[in-house]
Amino acid sequence: MMKKHLLVAAVLAACALGAHADTIAKAKTSGVVTMGVRDSSGALSYTLGEGKYAGYHIEICQRIIANMEKAAGRKLEIKYQSVTSQNRIPLTQNGTIDIECGSTTNNVARQRDVAFVVTAFVEEVRIAVKANSGITSIAQLKDRNVATTTGTTSVQLLRKHERANGVDFKEIFGKDHADSFLLLESGRAEAFVMDGQILAGNIANAKNPADYRIVGEVLNVEPIAIMIRKDDPAFKKLADDTVIALAKSGELAKLYDKWFMQPIPPKNARVGLPPSEATKAIWLSPNDKPAEDYAKK
């Protein structure tokens, strides 16, 4: 009897996993797709308040969902679920969210747990400081408080950088990117290490943007990608095909200009971050290669 119960439990678990894995079928049945979004991931994904979200990755995900509607043969309601650096992967794995449209680095370790859509944005990890701090390089972070966001890889990259040898600093953590920037703004941290566009976005929306600057060496070049569940080839193909078509048509470049080079809501601030050469290259040859492939050889 015990074996029978265990077998039934295993079958039910497998069925649940399969239902979660087939995202298009799940959406067709429920009429709903849940988008994982970030509250303060620069111009990639951010909140407008009152449950509304905007950004470059948000708009790309909306294009993917429009193609999901065609595949599902019905209109889909989009539900937004705010996620953090700590919970975004588990919530993708367990089916709470169907597609994560934030600022997640595609790397080998994460590919064991989730899948990534072909990259539409390649990031450079940098350091933000107050303009009057005098800090211009990694070496000057010695014995200072450095902020980063819990669940991200940025400080790990800083510690591993060749110019960080002998540079001992104290990490302090923000629960999200806005909280980390507040640590810098309030003086509790003297530097904030994070993706350049997140730094630029938070600076653009600060009370006095001129009080901050992005400085120092590029710590890493990372593909930032839209995340989905593993083992769902139909949905991955639909999402990949959507991004590839946007890249080939030139629409990705237009979306980038809209979100990074033009004034954006709610404050009509301009991030002012031109696309990196690596981002331009990925538009010409879309792929889902992990961050390790971008490392120095």
> What is the spatial distance between Cα 76 and Cα 65, in angstroms, rounded to a whole number?
8
> pTM for this structure?
0.81
Across the strands, what pairs with 194?
A: 126
Per-residue pLDDT, 51: 95
Q: What tokens does 181 get?
A: 């920037």
Per-residue pLDDT, 70: 98
Residues 6+ apart with CB under 8 A from 16: 95
CA within 13 Å, CB half, 226: 31
Look at the domain 123-222 and name its fold: D-Maltodextrin-Binding Protein; domain 2 (3.40.190)
263-277 per-position pLDDT tens digit: 999 989 899 899 988
Q: Give the residues of the chain that fall short of pLDDT 50.
A: 1-19, 297
Per-residue pLDDT, 12: 42
Per-residue pLDDT, 295: 79
**∠ at Cα 102 (227, 248), nearest 5°?**
70
Residue carrying structure tokens 């994460």: 110
Per-residue pLDDT, 4: 46
**Candidate CATH numbers 3.40.50.10950, 3.40.50.1370, 3.40.190.10, 3.40.50.620; the one for domain 2-122+223-294:** 3.40.190.10
118-130 per-position pLDDT tens digit: 999 999 889 999 9
Give the residue range(s) of CATH 3.40.190.10 domains in the chain: 2-122+223-294, 123-222
> What is the spatial distance between Cα 296 and Cα 120, in angstroms, rounded to a whole number?
21
CA within 13 Å, CB half, 279: 20
Per-residue pLDDT, 260: 95
Per-residue pLDDT, 296: 58
